[in-house]
């Protein structure tokens, strides 16, 4: 799979593939060149997952309540 294939993956599919790559690398059975290729793909998958999470977080909004306790609109999510 190429980079374009990674960009079309859902978060869940990319994470599952990344977990599979990590298991494979931890076993240490792959030849060096294949291990390098796996590591590089894993890095691209990790960055893709991080970007998908960041985009999802940006979409989350919290409801702001007015002085009367009623919803008064929304404000950006603040994880802190």
Give the per-residue pLDDT at 24.
96
Share of the chain above pLDDT 70, in %: 75
Q: What is the pTM of this model?
A: 0.71
pLDDT digits (tens, 9 = 90+) for 30-62: 999 999 999 999 999 999 999 999 888 766 666
pLDDT band for position 79 (cuts 50, 70, 90): low
- DSSP per residue over the chain, as a string? --HHHHHTS-HHHHHHHHHHHHHHHHHT-S-HHHHHHHHHHHHHHHHHHHHHHHHHHHH-EEEEE-TTSSEEEEEE----
């Amino acid at each position: 799979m190429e980079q374009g294939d990674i960009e079309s993956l859902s978060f869940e599919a990319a994470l599952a593939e990344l977990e599979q790559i990590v298991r494979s690398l931890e076993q240490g059975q792959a030849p060096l060149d294949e291990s390098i290729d796996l590591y590089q793909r894993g890095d691209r998958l990790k960055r893709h997952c991080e970007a998908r999470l960041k985009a999802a977080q940006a979409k989350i909004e919290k409801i702001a309540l007015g002085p009367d306790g009623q919803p008064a609109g929304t404000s950006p999510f603040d994880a802190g």
